[in-house]
Structure 1
Amino acid sequence: MLVLGQVKNIGLPEIRNYIRSDYKGGTQNWNIDQDKDDNLYFANNEGLFQYDGTVWTKYTLPNKSVIRSVKTDSSGKIYVGGYNEFGYFKPNKNGKLVYFSLSRFLKKKQVNSIDIIWKIHLYNNEIIFQSFEKAYIYNKQTLRLLTPPSRFQFSFLSDNTLYFQDITNGLMVYKKGKITPLKNTTELNNTEVWGIFNLSKTKLLITTLDKGLFIYENQKLVQWNTEANDFIKKNSGLGGYKMKNSYIALNSVLNGIIICNPQGKIIQHINRKKGLQNNTVLASFIDHKNNLWLGLDNGIAFINENSPFTFFGFSYNLSTVYATAVHKENLFVATNQGVFYHSWNSPFKEDNFELIKGTTGQTWNVQIIDNELFCAHNRGAIIINPDKTTKTLDNVGYWSFKKIPNLPNSIIGSNYKGFSLFEKKNNEWKFIKHIDGFNKSVGEFEIDTNNSIWVKKDELIYLMSLDSSAHKFNSIKTFKRLSSTDNGITSIQRINNIVYFQKDNHFYTYSYTDKTFQKDNKITNVFRKIPQTNTIQEDRYGNIWYVTNESLGVLLKKSNHSYSNRIAPFLNLTEDLVYNNLSINTLNPNNIFIGLTDGLAHYDSKLSNDFNQLPKVFIRNFSSPSGTYTIVNNKDDFDITIPYKSNYVKFRFSTPTYENIENIKYSFKLEGFDEYWSDWNQGTIKEYTNLREGEYTMRVKTKNGFGIVSKEATLSFTISPPWYRHFFAYIFYLLLIGAIIRIIRDRVKIKIRKNKYYETIEQRRLYLEKEARIRKEQYKLEKEIEKLKNDKLQIKILAKDKELVTNSLQVVKKNKILNGIIHKLKDINTNSFDEESKFQFEKLRKSILKEVNSDKSWKDLEKHIKNVHFDFLKRLKEKHPTISPRELDLSTYLLMNMSTKEIAEIMNISIGGVELARYRLRKKLDLTKKENLIGYLMSI
């Protein structure tokens, strides 16, 4: 069961601060309340802020004024009061909070004189809004005014009695629409009353701004002379809140907040030094889980009072904690900075831990042996004396110490170089020697009843036997595995005074007779349903503490020697445990100390919360392009239908759980889309895109920081099909298909009749087509014959071309010979010839010259070539406009497949000139080296 209103006076509870940038509002928060769905509301300088555990939402008044008061009721209304405005917010049909003004019932002149509404009370079916000038009482759609005798200060509701402070009449009680003075309270006229609480049916506690605390009983007002009164007098009071076990939280202007018991004893004091972001507490509130919320002058704070854990951290001068011990009314803490101590008296004082001189540096352990405090330090083995002085026994770094069972005045210590022996002589501990035979740094170790030492080191198990004087090791054995199935070892620990060896939660003992490890089914069964452990430690009450990869847990030993597993309370410590050096010190069930990386945790198992209490989960928002719905109280009463074009949907969910929020996780499943539940994760928003039409149900569940899973929250919605898949569209499709079938049937009948008519025409058409095809084939045949004739003719032409070229070449040769004769004739000296001979010689020369000049074979050849290859030359010129006539001739000769020698003779150039002309022609035609020139010409 939940212990209501538990407040611990040892250490500090978890404190979480919310700064302005978190909730994006003003600095000052004047009032706090919570609705039935556990949402929190804060009256802030910039409006009303709602917090659902995940998201902060801001709501403002129509006149954008400051909000100084807020109060929720069971109907879901959130009443608020601001400057010249008051009313309530209420969810509309889409779940969004909408403001309804109640000041509208007032006349315009009355509205301007409202001033600030400081307090709101739900009292006997009335909603009372109180300002300094008047109180406005709303009931059944009517609003009436309550006027003070002079001027109101503040008002307070305690044990269903409503009190007002009047600045001249003292305290007054409101009953049946009237206010009557409380006798002998005018002493309060010169101060401001900020809180009134019932300590009993007849005793009131009154807290003032600057006069301290008063008790009003039997019509007498007296100062409450207590620690709490001294605190309020010194730091100025700003009211407070009565907790469910009669403890009272008292706010202050200068020094945070205190929690006192009904006798005025301060149980807890929390201020900026202890973790608050601001020392001025304007409002305090106890939520449904009995946790404390503070409205600060700058920000908001959450204090986890409903927890069995409190902490000693940096505000107590502590860092990473490796061990603790209570010795001679002092709590000693071994840290990475040294050994610190704090008095261990009842009641526990909130002083800082003090460092013991001479212990500065890494400290691995503090232990009580024979009523003396041993310290295992990085700089040696140290004894801490009752007067907080130290004595160093050895200068080597030490891990821990243990007594040797059969040597009552001897201690063995594990250090950085192995083991050392200490003996008590003349009532004083002294270092004897380093034990020979082993020189590895070992850390933790266990000593068996026969003085055998067990060590886990480098994946091996060492069994070392001491000689009778404990000066050396007689033998050292190593083991790699515990059995054929359990290879290796995870840990060595002592349970029920027996040394156990563990691998994968399988426990073994060692038989010296058989010299083997033997499985212990009893302890193995205890750990059967527990995740694999890596560290196990038994406390003085026989409880077994263990660490897994997920968290810390404890097996509580029962009177029948069985165990019950408890893991939920420690899940919030998972991130902060010192896993390699677990420190659990169980002084008694009310005082258990756990070492953390950033301090020390104090655990009171008798104050354990009901960790099995189911958390709540809410689907807060459902949105799509067509609109947004805010879900109230998980009511799935929305008829949500969205069009197909808006089939992108988004859900936001949250849980109003404010403890251990770092470990809150969610799982969800969209029925109609998801086949399985999602993995647990911390995301609070889920989106789905391109959903098909149909009905869907979103299911969400949460798992709180203690591993408890909530019931499901559900939200159903429907996506309409697109118009072409709508029900009426399918009816239209059926009608359309029927009409098409009817039309097709009618057309088939018409077609049959037409077919009979067209059948004859079709036969005639086929006959004519056949006749036309025969004629076409005949014409095609004639064309082929003509083509063959043309081809034959072309062959003849080519032959003639070749013949003509040959003849032309003969003519060229003849002319060349004749020209040679003419040149030779020129060389003949005719001076020796007679006239007749000269005449005949000249006649011969002219005859030969005439024959050469009158030869038209070459011109006939060119003319013939141009006529025959006219189309080719035309196409070549069109494709390559820059080609010269000489290159056209060369192209024609190449097309005629003339040899280079023949071309050289016809063109009257050398063979090298022909090759150069071919090269230039290739460049003119843009041909690559791989392209054939004659082939290209033939393609044209």
Structure 2
Amino acid sequence: MNFTKFHILILLVTTTLLSQVKNIGLPDIQNYKRSDYKGGTQNWDIDQDKNGNLYFANNNGLFQFDGSSWRKYNIPNSIAVRCVKIDDSGKIFVGGYTEFGYFKPTSKGRLSYFSLSKTINKSSLKLMDFIWKIHIHNDEVIFQSFERTYIFKNKKVKVLEAPKRFQFSFQVKNHIYIQDISLGILEYRNGKLFQLKNSTILNNTEIWGMFSLPKNKLLVATLNKGLFIYENDKMIPWNTEANVFIKKNSSLGGITIKDKFIVLNSVLDGIIVFDLNGKIIQHFNRTKGLQNNTVLTSFVDSKNNLWLGLDNGITFINENSPFTYFRFSYNISTVYATAIHKENLYVATNQGVFYHSWNNSIKEDTFKLVEGTTGQAWNIQVIDDQLFCAHNTGALLISEGKTIKILDNVGYWQFKKIPNHPNYLIGSNYNGFSIFEKTSTGWLFKNKIEGFSRSSGLFELHDKNLWAKKDNLVYRMTLSEDLNKFESIETYENLSKTTKGIANIQQLDNKIYFQTNNRFFKYSYEQNLFFEDKKMSALFAKIPKINSLTQDRNGNIWYIFGESLAVLMKTNQGGYKNIVAPFSKLTGNIVSNNLSINTTGPNDTFIGLTDGLAHYNPNLLNNYEAKPKAYIRGFSFPGDTIILGNGQKALDNYKIPYSSNHVKFTFSSPSYENLENLEFSYQLEGFDNQWSNWSAIAIKEYTNLKEGDYTMKLKARTNYGKQSEKSTLNFSIFPPWYRHFLAYLFYILLIAASIIYIRKRIKTKIRKNKYYEIIEQRRLYLEKESKIRQEQYELEKEIEKLKNDKLQIKILAKDKELVNNSLQVVKKNKILNGIIYKLKDINVESFDESTKFQFTKLNRSITKEVNADKSWKDLEKHIKNVHFDFLKRLKEKYPTISPRELDLSTYLLMNMSTKEIAEIMNISGGGVELARYRLRKKLELNKKENLIGFLMSI
């Protein structure tokens, strides 16, 4: 019998470990709203790539989620994407309205779309509708629409027409099945369709799912006719719990979990998870945490967690977790204690005591209130197969969902059996302590213990000694033999002279310990002092300061530090293994002032929470040994963005210009179980001296980086404490042009050239200085010589000037003399002309020939003398030669001046009188005055200006 029970237990544990689907409580549920991924309402299909990134076929496009950020990708000719499938090479095949093809990453990680539908001659096809399903079958990719399927193979697309009209297609292991509204279910093999016998009976409904069952059976899920088994060419209804649910709520397909369980989506009531016998294990709907009751698609990711594409939003269900929960949907609130009694699970809450049937599984129905327990229940305990409740209203006995007896009407905290008194209990209440006695008629209130009337919920018993803690004091009270009073009471404030305060009292391995600051003490009754248990203190030496602790029935020590829970799990070797990380998701939800841990079996531990009850299966922690993956998801800098982790070939080193030395990194880790507690640590080698502190922030920016080579290193840590391998990215920042290698080479050459130039300049300057000294000496010598010469020259010039002045005076005198002589000649010629005129009046006819000859000869002689006299012309020529420079300057300054006016100007310059000018120019004195007036006017002189002075100044 024991052997059989042992094997049944092993089988149950193994099945639980393999299945990853717990039938106790609900796992964590994370909802993603449209505002989170900024997409459309309906999500039709889901798939995951090798790097853990998830892809959702949404009404507004294809959405990618890496755990940290969402990215949207569109396809041409279609806003909506109906299906998505990823092959081993990383190609992301998608289908939409009149469009299908695949996305493939570029060298910079951006997903680029390649259309396959463009290769089809659409003019020869009457209609190309939505692509609803994609299957990767052997070396083919099958795109299925209602009218036909398109088969992509060897870079070519072939068309397979529907016999009548397709509905949907399904891939069951290595088989492809398609429903035709005329021929029923068809199997696709080698490019052809083969009809399944007797499958046309489902022609009047739509098939939305097909699944493999043992013994080559097929499970067929219809929209509104329920579930059917296809076996031995027969289609028969599958009369199970799952079938009843689907008939009521309509099926929208589903998925298999590790060939052990099947998930079915419904139109009206969320999803169910059932085993291969059709027994419902889990049911999720809006009441249980989904944001929508219509589930269009479901997907099991690489860690066996469940993703749901809803009619409005996306939901993640953490099936791969050791924790499940009973929260508001089970009608319970803050839990202070739990107990299992007579196949019922009881929970003590702030609203009362609730219970639920317990047979190692709890389905979807809610907990019920135990009659007569409404109000604050502090504790629930099984003692001698009786269920005691420490309630705000008193000490209660409960059985089969009812309060069967009220033992005392004072509020109680807890109960303990008294050592060496098997028929007695002691209970701590609001007024001290009381004794209960077990009689032939059951448990009865016996008496209040006199001598102590303070309320203390924390106490322990050792023989006749009762240890209680109240405020900052610990009381040691000795019970009398009749249990009616405390014979002695002693108080303790400190554990020793050096160890101040007493934080807690607890019983571990049937020994009472007194603890403060993680140091554990026992009490010596012989010596009446506390002494430290070094072994126990060493166990907690590296643990943060604890608030309280308790030990479960398996010897595991649970403790609270801050607002977090952890456990020292007892090993087979007698030691302890500290487990902290898995409980991080409970941080802040533990009832820290009333720790409730109830281990009822090897796979069942109940933990009281502020918002319900958690069920913990420690055996499922084995699933978290795998390390997470850390990705440097995005690398951006001004001018470019590189997306990593999309399957592209990584470059050895990214080159960045100095003008773009502001870089930004985004991180991700496809560990979706508890994203709020996912943490990253990073180090930019070349800038950071050490790794950063762990943080949930998935982004890091660096500004104004210097030129050089850098390596960004990243690690991720899950809430289970597992760290990823190091992920790295290398990049280099070029220096600015003025700090480039060539610039430095130029600077070196320039400095060398400058030194050479300066040396040459110095040498040249020295030579020049010497040269200039010689030159300066020579200059001074020459200057002196020049000065002497200049003085000699000036002397000579002065002498020359004196000579010129003297000569000028002589010339002027000569000119005057010449003029006078000329005037005399003019006068002479005038007289001679007068004589000639007079001779003409003489009558020569009266003369004799000799006299007439002599007269004529005389007349000719006088006329010849007058005509031959060139004195005037010589005078005019002389005047012009003497005053040539003056006449030239005057003509240049006044170009309109006439020759006669030039002559007049010369005469005036020679200081001739009006009479002399009149005689020379052969005009009257009035004519000279008129000529002077006209000359003044042409020279633009006013009346006050002296004409002769002006002419002399020219």
- TM-score > 0.5 by shorter chain: yes
What is the distance in 2 between the residues matched to 1:687 and 1:349?
48
What is the distance in 2 between the residues matched to 1:198 and 1:582?
46
Aligned with residue 106 of structure 1, among 98, 111, 120: 120
Aligned with residue 211 of structure 2, among 197, 203, 207: 197
Aligned with residue 579 of structure 2, among 544, 566, 586: 566
What is the distance in 2 between the residues matched to 1:635 and 1:670?
22
Q: Are 1:40 and 1:50, in contact at CA under 8 Å, matched by a contact in 2?
A: yes
- 3-state SS of 2:583 partner: helix
Aligned with residue 510 of structure 1, among 507, 512, 523: 523
- Alignment-derived partner of residue 58 in structure 2: 44
Letter in 2 for 1:128: I
What is the distance in 2 between the residues matched to 1:372 and 1:187?
58
Letter in 2 for 1:458: D
- Alignment-derived partner of residue 911 in structure 2: none
- Percentage of identical aligned residues: 60
- 3-state SS of 2:588 partner: helix
- 3-state SS of 2:667 partner: strand
Residue range with higher mean Cα deviation, 21-30 or 354-363: 354-363
- Alignment-derived partner of residue 804 in structure 1: none
What is the distance in 2 between the residues matched to 1:389 and 1:590?
30
- Alignment-derived partner of residue 353 in structure 1: 367
What is the distance in 2 between the residues matched to 1:485 and 1:340?
47
Over 3 Å counting, the alpha-carbon distance change for 1:766 and 1:571 in structure 2 is farther
- Alignment-derived partner of residue 217 in structure 1: 231
What is the distance in 2 between the residues matched to 1:351 and 1:191?
32
Q: Structure 2 length normalisation: TM-score?
A: 0.78
Q: Are 1:329 and 1:343, in contact at CA under 8 Å, matched by a contact in 2?
A: yes
Verify: 1:422 aligned to 2:436, yes or no. yes
Q: CA deviation at 1:174?
A: 0.9
Q: CA deviation at 1:760?
A: 5.3
- Alignment-derived partner of residue 16 in structure 1: 30
Q: CA deviation at 1:73?
A: 1.6
Verify: 1:77 aligned to 2:91, yes or no. yes
Aligned length: 767
What is the distance in 1 between the residues matched to 2:599 and 2:763?
101
1:243-287 per-residue CA deviation (whole Å, 9 max, x = no partner) reads 104210011111110011111111111111111111111000000
* Unaligned residue ranges in structure 2 (runs of 5+): 1-13, 782-954
Verify: 1:477 aligned to 2:490, yes or no. yes
Verify: 1:462 aligned to 2:475, yes or no. yes
What is the distance in 2 between the residues matched to 1:112 and 1:293?
37
Q: How does 1:321-400 map to 2 (within 5 A)?
A: 321-345=335-359, 347-386=361-400, 388-400=402-414
Letter in 1 for 2:30: R
Q: CA deviation at 1:334?
A: 0.4
Q: Are 1:41 and 1:50, in contact at CA under 8 Å, matched by a contact in 2?
A: yes
Q: CA deviation at 1:573?
A: 1.5
- 3-state SS of 1:11 partner: coil
Q: Are 1:199 and 1:246, in contact at CA under 8 Å, matched by a contact in 2?
A: no
Over 3 Å counting, the alpha-carbon distance change for 1:541 and 1:84 in structure 2 is same
Letter in 1 for 2:380: V
Over 3 Å counting, the alpha-carbon distance change for 1:458 and 1:720 in structure 2 is same
Over 3 Å counting, the alpha-carbon distance change for 1:610 and 1:483 in structure 2 is farther
Q: CA deviation at 1:564?
A: 3.0
RMSD over aligned CA atoms reads 2.1
Q: CA deviation at 1:387?
A: 5.4
- 3-state SS of 1:580 partner: coil
Q: CA deviation at 1:298?
A: 0.8
Q: CA deviation at 1:550?
A: 6.4
Q: CA deviation at 1:761?
A: 6.6
Q: Are 2:563 and 2:592, in contact at CA under 8 Å, matched by a contact in 1?
A: no
Q: CA deviation at 1:112?
A: 7.3
- Alignment-derived partner of residue 692 in structure 1: 706
Verify: 1:665 aligned to 2:679, yes or no. yes
What is the distance in 2 between the residues matched to 1:165 and 1:421?
74
Q: CA deviation at 1:378?
A: 1.6
Q: Are 2:61 and 2:75, in contact at CA under 8 Å, matched by a contact in 1?
A: yes
- Alignment-derived partner of residue 150 in structure 1: 164
Aligned with residue 600 of structure 1, among 613, 628, 650: 613
What is the distance in 2 between the residues matched to 1:558 and 1:324?
25
- 3-state SS of 2:19 partner: coil
1:272-322 per-residue CA deviation (whole Å, 9 max, x = no partner) reads 111111111100000000000000111111111111211100000011100
Q: Are 1:149 and 1:166, in contact at CA under 8 Å, matched by a contact in 2?
A: yes
What is the distance in 2 between the residues matched to 1:351 and 1:43?
34
Between structure 1 and structure 2, the one with the greater Rg is 2
What is the distance in 2 between the residues matched to 1:316 and 1:517?
47
Q: Are 2:17 and 2:620, in contact at CA under 8 Å, matched by a contact in 1?
A: yes
Q: Are 1:32 and 1:40, in contact at CA under 8 Å, matched by a contact in 2?
A: yes
- Alignment-derived partner of residue 642 in structure 2: 629
Q: CA deviation at 1:639?
A: 3.8
Q: How does 1:369-768 map to 2 (within 5 A)?
A: 369-386=383-400, 388-448=402-462, 450-549=463-562, 551-632=564-645, 636-637=650-651, 639-759=653-773
Q: How does 1:879-918 map to 2 (within 5 A)?
A: none
1:585-619 per-residue CA deviation (whole Å, 9 max, x = no partner) reads 11111221110110001122333342232111101
1:13-72 per-residue CA deviation (whole Å, 9 max, x = no partner) reads 111111111111111100000000011100000000100001111111122421010011
Q: CA deviation at 1:404?
A: 1.4
Verify: 1:259 aligned to 2:273, yes or no. yes
Q: CA deviation at 1:549?
A: 2.8
Q: CA deviation at 1:763?
A: 7.6
Q: CA deviation at 1:765?
A: 11
Q: Are 2:369 and 2:401, in contact at CA under 8 Å, matched by a contact in 1?
A: no
What is the distance in 1 between the residues matched to 2:570 and 2:661?
57
Verify: 1:286 aligned to 2:297, yes or no. no
What is the distance in 1 between the residues matched to 2:559 and 2:245?
43
What is the distance in 2 between the residues matched to 1:20 and 1:78?
23
- Alignment-derived partner of residue 313 in structure 2: 299
Letter in 1 for 2:509: N
What is the distance in 2 between the residues matched to 1:413 and 1:34?
57
Q: How does 1:237-276 map to 2 (within 5 A)?
A: 237-276=251-290
What is the distance in 2 between the residues matched to 1:53 and 1:600?
27
Q: Are 1:636 and 1:714, in contact at CA under 8 Å, matched by a contact in 2?
A: no
Letter in 1 for 2:252: L
- 3-state SS of 1:54 partner: coil
Q: Are 1:568 and 1:611, in contact at CA under 8 Å, matched by a contact in 2?
A: no
What is the distance in 2 between the residues matched to 1:45 and 1:698?
37
- Alignment-derived partner of residue 910 in structure 1: none
What is the distance in 1 between the residues matched to 2:62 and 2:281?
32
Q: Are 2:262 and 2:276, in contact at CA under 8 Å, matched by a contact in 1?
A: yes
Q: Are 1:307 and 1:609, in contact at CA under 8 Å, matched by a contact in 2?
A: no
- 3-state SS of 1:283 partner: strand
Q: Are 1:668 and 1:700, in contact at CA under 8 Å, matched by a contact in 2?
A: yes
- 3-state SS of 1:470 partner: coil
What is the distance in 2 between the residues matched to 1:475 and 1:208?
77
Verify: 1:177 aligned to 2:175, yes or no. no
- 3-state SS of 1:660 partner: helix
What is the distance in 1 between the residues matched to 2:393 and 2:775?
121
- 3-state SS of 1:149 partner: coil
